[in-house]
Structure 1
Amino acid sequence: MITRRRLLQSCLALPALTAFPAFGQEDDTLNIASLKAGYAQRLKKILSTGVVPYIDIESSCNPDRVDIGDIARSMDQLNIGLMALSSDLRRNQFVRRIHYDNFPQRLLAKHADRFIPIGNGGQPPALTEAAEEFLNAQESAANRKAILMFGEYELRHYPSPRQVQRGDSDRDVDVPMDSPTGHRLFSMSEKTGLSFQIHYEIEDHYLLVLEKMLAQYPKARVIWCHLAQVRFSERAARYSATYVDELIRRFPNLYFDTAFGHADSVYPVSGQRHARVWAGSNSLRPEWLDLIVTHSERFLSALDLGQDRLHRITEFDQKHRQFLSLLPENTRHRVAYRNTWKLLFNEEFS
């Protein structure tokens, strides 16, 4: 088992990384070749210590409250390779920043070897009150090559366990996937070639709509967040490892991130354990393990940190590493960093 002491020692042993410019000379257009070089150097340095780095494809923060330096230090201590940390704009921030926040540029200006430039998170009020303006801003950022992927879009989202406990209903969101907003999102991905993430609760009556949109937009690159996170089992009779296998075989541009709760995590509204991949506290159900191994190129590491839990990064890291440790070695490397690298750069990591 990799202890926190060993993680810290291995990170302290790393040689200093070479600095690579993240942008062009005059604007926020990314210097892709330079970013790739910096990312690759960091991943290889961690690999050289015998630790598998991973790329966190899905975390977010309040851009006015986050301590970027603290996150970067934690990434070093824990040997986290890269992080796609998006800016979630609250109502007052949303208006002030005219629907796009240059948070990715702020991250890269300080730590270009750690952070993936990602579009803003699509949670209220972005898709619920000003979807057209928000998506215009995100597409503009993509077209001028300021980001490498779009953020997480909350199409159907129940309040999280923490929000339920706080009595917060602001993120009980229902934006139909086949609405004009959903069509614009899928079309935007097809046109730009960038992937986007969706939070889409797993319920039978939503699955046909998802299948229809995936068929209509075959070049859209979709990351469905939270594999097998089912809030209400009685509403998801169709969903299983077999169903996901069928989706993967039908839709070559569909991916899944592996940010799900631990084995004992309970959704307080239903009273059910909502991470359905677990057989026990340290074992995966055989059907889900077989699925991930069979289609190892379609699954991505993720922590799903948010502003209210950034201080728990060590806890989330330990849980994700526990999951990765249960995978065969080749699959572990694919899920941890190789698949995200290929999704971002259309090439294998080497």
Structure 2
Amino acid sequence: MIRRRYLLGTAGVALASLTLAWPGVSQAQGAGREASILGWRGRIQRMLDRQRLPLIDIEATYVAGRTNIAYLIERMDALDVAQIAFAPANAANSQPALDLHRDYPEYFIPTSNSGEFPRWWNDPVAFVSGVRKELQNGRYYLMGEHEFRHYPSPEQVAAGQTSRDITIALDGPAGHALFQLSEETGVAFQLHYEIEDRLLPVLEAMLARYPKARVIWCHAGMVRYEQRATGYSPDYVRGLIERYPGLHWDLAVPAPEHIYQPSGARDSTLFREGRLDPRWQSVLEQHADRFLAASDYRPPVEQEYTRNIQRLRSLILDALSERSRHQIAYGNAWRLLTGAPWRAASATS
């Protein structure tokens, strides 16, 4: 009974946060959010009770008819992945995320459409306008990945596809609309923004203009063209952390040995000689509240899910202190998604 009261109280904090952001959220919608948060909390707590380290996978793309949900649920249970924030792609709207959550409420976190398909590329302003309308129902907890600068992914390179060599001005109308939407609602969005010297001042200007926006910059330290990113380093990231309180990073990164074929670069600069670079380790330890666990799941690489999660654990999380591991694995995601810090259930429950 004590535990039940505690959990309801914690979920209520998050509910109050959302209601302030969207005054039109109804009591019934608020109750639905509370039930969702309680379900996620229960699954995380059960893993903690078994002395496991739960993960919230903050970056993943869902494609109806291609994503093997039964396989992923089996993998999540085996790998102690508590939840996946699944952003639908190739969909007319974000409804598939709600459908997934309805069918598997403890496993999946409703996330708005992923901006990695033509509806985003062709009319990003209309895309953000649609997301704005969807967020008003209070049923989404995160905005999906938005590609403003994106090189073709490795599997597309291998197939000779160039359709995702994307450039959308971050300081254009869509960028301003997205940052403003996050500021107004408190809902975080994911940003895919390749690391290039010429692009970084634009990002910094947007972060300065919208200091309350919650931004998750995907793929920390992933540099696919070294000659284009001469100013990027762990110290540069540390400086961003100190200046922009709303900026976060996810840790969906390639393996240490991975080579991005178009450039020939080992694109995961988090690692040195197969291990977490001590300079990055220092940043992660000192600013553990700014980094989040992620897999970058998408259907073409579904069979890599186990390897990606195991690499995140063994090469990054295992190199950190206990406190930092828990923050990055699930604590920071919990805070961004619910509006309240994670608190373990009462020991007297």
TM range (shorter): 0.7 to 0.9
The alpha carbon displacement at 1:239 in A equals 0.5
- 2:180 matches 1:187: yes
Which has the larger displacement, 238-247 or 311-320? 311-320
The answer to whether the aligner puts 1:135 opposite 2:135 as a matched pair is: no
* DSSP 3-state at the match of 2:157: helix
Q: What SS is found at the alignment partner of 2:110?
A: coil
Which residue does 1:286 correspond to in 2?
A: 278
The AA in structure 1 aligned to 2:139 is A
Is 1:327 the counterpart of 2:320? The answer is yes
Give the letter aligned to residue 103 of structure 1: P
**Corresponding residue to 2:165 among 172, 192, 196:** 172
What TM-score, normalized to structure 2?
A: 0.88
Partner residue, 2:216: 223
Q: CA deviation at 1:126?
A: 2.4
Distance 2:335 2:296 in 1: 21
> How far off its partner does 1:160 sit?
1.1
**Distance in 2 between the 1:229 and 1:27 partners?**
42
Cα deviation for residue 280 of structure 1 reads 2.1
Q: Where does residue 22 of structure 2 map in the other structure? A: none
User: How many residues end up aligned between the 2 structures?
Assistant: 318
For structure 2, list consecutive stretches of 5 or more residues without a partner in the other structure: 1-24, 344-349
Q: What is the CA-CA distance between 1:114 and the residue it aligns to?
A: 1.0
Asked if 1 retains the 8 angstrom alpha-carbon contact of 2:87 and 2:94, the reply is: no
Residue 299 (structure 1) aligned with residue 286 (structure 2): no
Aligned to 2:37: 36
Which protein has greater RCO, CA pairs closer than 8 Å, 6+ apart? 2
Give, in angstroms, the shift of residue 297 of structure 1.
0.4
Q: Deviations over 1:196-253 (max 9, x none)?
A: 0000000100000000000011111000000000011111111011110110000000
CA distance in 2, matches of 1:124, 1:37: 33
After TM superposition, give the deviation of residue 26 of structure 1 in Å.
11
| Matched residue, 1:21 | none
Deviations 1:287-316 (A, max 9, x none): 100001010100000000111112222111
TM-score in terms of structure 1 length? 0.87
CA-CA distance at 1:28 after TM superposition: 7.5
Contact 2:156 2:162 in 1 (8 A): yes
Contact 1:186 1:217 in 2 (8 A): yes
How far off is 1:175 after superposition? 0.3
| CA 49–232 in structure 1, closer or farther in 2 if over 3 Å, else same | same
Contact conserved, 1:259 with 1:302, CA < 8 A, in 2?
A: yes
> In the alignment, does 2:202 pair up with 1:209?
yes
Report the 3-state secondary structure (helix = DSSP H, G, I; strand = E; otherwise coil) of the residue aligned with 1:205.
Answer: coil
Matched AA of 2:290: R
Whether the 8 Å CA contact 1:30–1:147 is kept in 2: the answer is no
Contact 1:196 1:223 in 2 (8 A): yes
Is contact 1:222–1:254 with CA below 8 Å preserved after alignment? yes
1:131 to partner: Cα distance: 2.0
Between the aligned residues of both structures, percent identity stands at 36
Secondary structure of the 2:312 match is helix
C-alpha contact 1:29 1:144 (8 A) present in aligned 2: no
- Verify the 8 A CA contact 1:51 1:79 in the aligned structure 2: yes
DSSP 3-state at the match of 1:81? strand
Q: Which letter does structure 2 place at the counterpart of 1:138?
A: V
Letter in 2 for 1:302: A
Q: For residue 156 of structure 1, what is the amino acid of its counterpart?
A: R
Q: Corresponding residue for 2:72? A: 71
The corresponding residue for 1:102 is: 95
Q: Is the 1:231–1:274 Cα contact (8 Å) retained in structure 2?
A: yes
Alignment root-mean-square deviation, CA: 1.7
SS of 1:31's equivalent? helix
Give, as a single letter, the amino acid of the residue that structure 2 aligns with 1:333.
H
Alpha-carbon distance in 2 for matches of 1:163, 1:29: 41
